Structure 1
Amino acid sequence: MRNPSQTEQCHYVDEPYQLHDCGLGDWLLSFQSPDCASELTRLFQHLKTDPTVLEPVVGYDSLLIRTDGTPTSHSLTSKIDGILKTSHREQISTQHHDIQVVYNGPDLEEVAELTKLTTEKIIEAHTAPLYTVRFLGFSPGFAYLDGLDPILHLPRRSTPRPKMAAGAVAIGAAHAGIYSIPSPGGWNWLGNTDHPLFNKNGLDATAFTLHPGDTLRFHPLAS
């Protein structure tokens, strides 16, 4: 019987990682460096089609691998190493999304004061980058987006709002995001989009519009 607290130290050629046995066929792969987004995306893309993997779930610097219980630490480590060593030569299957935004959020003026920028410059800084979906979390379909211009890196609001609207386009710390459903939230609310992010009738990952590794750009619309 496996020890659920077992941790295996693994040393992939570029990024060392750990593989933790969580019990019940679940494994948590964690990288020692936060600069691992491409590795996580490649693993996610490959493992989601593996017949022994029930579900891979991407985190900020980790991947929860839910299996049917058949993989051992040795076989799973060998599989992970094989993916990481060869998949960089493959084209990752991801999608690009263009998101239209009306920049009329209630925090736009406050962000302007904090950054010492005009609202026009904030919109320019927010729409310029090509963003990458790092992972989904917090609420169904909410994507944490890498790529935010450092000039817009701001702390979350000291007092969260009891309700952010579905489609609220916001920034928090080093990430941009879009609220997929109405929910409380403490990010800085810049604007709104009607781009659908979550289908409540979906029964699997197809319920979500955005997926790890996808790219997107924001485009301003007149209010």
Structure 2
Amino acid sequence: MTALDIGFEAIAEDALLLRFGERIDIALNARVQAAAASLRQQLPQLECVPAYASLLLRFDPLAWPDAGAGTPHQQLQQAVGTVLEMVGTEIRASREQLIPVCYGGEYGPDLDDVARHAGLDIDGVIARHTAADYAVAMIGFAPGFPYLLGLDPALAMPRRHDPRQRVPAGSVAIGGEQTGIYPAPLPGGWQLIGRTPLRLFDTAAEPPSLLEAGDRVRFRAIGPDEFRRLEREHAR
């Protein structure tokens, strides 16, 4: 993929949207993340916000004052195109994060339903969920909420017909073909299969979000005793 394959759309006086495609695809998202990494390095004045198949660029229009070279959006598009033609959007190494999860019981009340839907036993669901290598496609819905691509297709399951008014912080869930982690007590309709004792979002931390777009994630199954110990260690 080159800059010629990317769509550019001015969506505000200080925002330019790059469209890489129209589908949710792990390889396509990896190119979005690679482009974001290149632009952060080469054009650090930009704010880059990656999504599934697009990249939002926020910028200061006054930082592109050469009126003879076109509008700020046109100048930025040219600068972005030059960077991506030069550096490319090839997949790069990313951070790896290991997330401990206590599956089932009070921590994952929908695990039995997921197992029945998949035609597996509980251990089979846990084994498949922990065996996958996930990519953080984007952070959204709430601060620190990661949308993870890479779920075993056998575990895909529709969202609940009756969303919960309050999902506990740290809940690991399946929604359609994705896995996510609730960073705070929130309403939600995803299927809850477990919970992590780690804090996904902490305003006192730097950066506040434990996971970032482009990270790689693996899950590790733990028991209730280890969950409680880690929960105490990560409590403030």
Scaled by the length of structure 2, what TM-score is found? Answer: 0.80
Letter of the aligned partner of 2:121 in structure 1? T
Written as runs of structure 1 = structure 2, the 5 A alignment for 1:188-199 is 188-199=191-202
Letter of the aligned partner of 2:34 in structure 1? R
Name the structure 2 match of 1:19.
8
Name the structure 1 match of 2:94.
94
Letter of the aligned partner of 1:215 in structure 2? R
The worse-fitting range, judged by mean Cα deviation, of 67-76 and 187-196 is 67-76
- Tell me, in whole angstroms, the C-alpha distance in 1 between the residues paired with 2:51 and 2:59: 17
Provide, for residues 15-72 of structure 1, a one-character-per-residue CA deviation record: whole Å limited to 9, x for no partner.
Answer: 822211122211111223434212211222233342431x211122111110011453
Offset, 1:197: 1.2
Letter of the aligned partner of 2:219 in structure 1? F
- Tell me, in whole angstroms, the C-alpha distance in 2 between the residues paired with 1:23 and 1:40: 20
Unpaired runs of 5+ residues, structure 1, are: 1-11
Structure 2 contact 35–88 (Cα < 8 Å) conserved: no
The worse-fitting range, judged by mean Cα deviation, of 15-24 and 87-96 is 87-96
Structure 2 contact 30–91 (Cα < 8 Å) conserved: no
Structure 1 contact 41–212 (Cα < 8 Å) conserved: yes
Letter of the aligned partner of 1:95 in structure 2? R
Name the structure 2 match of 1:185.
188
Name the structure 1 match of 2:55.
63
- Tell me, in whole angstroms, the C-alpha distance in 2 between the residues paired with 1:93 and 1:87: 15
Offset, 1:76: 2.5
Is 1:213 the counterpart of 2:214 in the alignment?
yes
CA 91–138 in structure 1, closer or farther in 2 if over 3 Å, else same:
closer
Letter of the aligned partner of 1:178 in structure 2? I
Is 1:124 the counterpart of 2:117 in the alignment?
no
- Tell me, in whole angstroms, the C-alpha distance in 2 between the residues paired with 1:87 and 1:166: 39
The worse-fitting range, judged by mean Cα deviation, of 40-49 and 14-23 is 14-23
Q: Counting helix residues as a fraction of each chain, which structure ranks higher?
A: 2
CA 165–89 in structure 1, closer or farther in 2 if over 3 Å, else same:
closer
Q: Counting strand residues as a fraction of each chain, which structure ranks higher?
A: 1
Name the structure 1 match of 2:116.
113
Structure 1 contact 15–31 (Cα < 8 Å) conserved: no
Q: How many pairs does the alignment contain?
A: 209
CA RMSD of aligned residues (A): 2.2
The worse-fitting range, judged by mean Cα deviation, of 29-38 and 142-151 is 29-38
Which one of the candidate residues 28, 46, 54 is aligned to 2:17? 28
Letter of the aligned partner of 1:47 in structure 2? L
Specify the SS of the correspondent of 1:48: helix
Identical amino acids, percent of aligned pairs: 35
Written as runs of structure 1 = structure 2, the 5 A alignment for 1:38-57 is 38-49=30-41, 50-53=43-46, 55-57=47-49
- Tell me, in whole angstroms, the C-alpha distance in 2 between the residues paired with 1:122 and 1:83: 43
CA 91–173 in structure 1, closer or farther in 2 if over 3 Å, else same:
closer
Letter of the aligned partner of 2:54 in structure 1? S
- Tell me, in whole angstroms, the C-alpha distance in 2 between the residues paired with 1:161 and 1:128: 28
Specify the SS of the correspondent of 1:79: helix
Is 1:140 the counterpart of 2:143 in the alignment?
yes
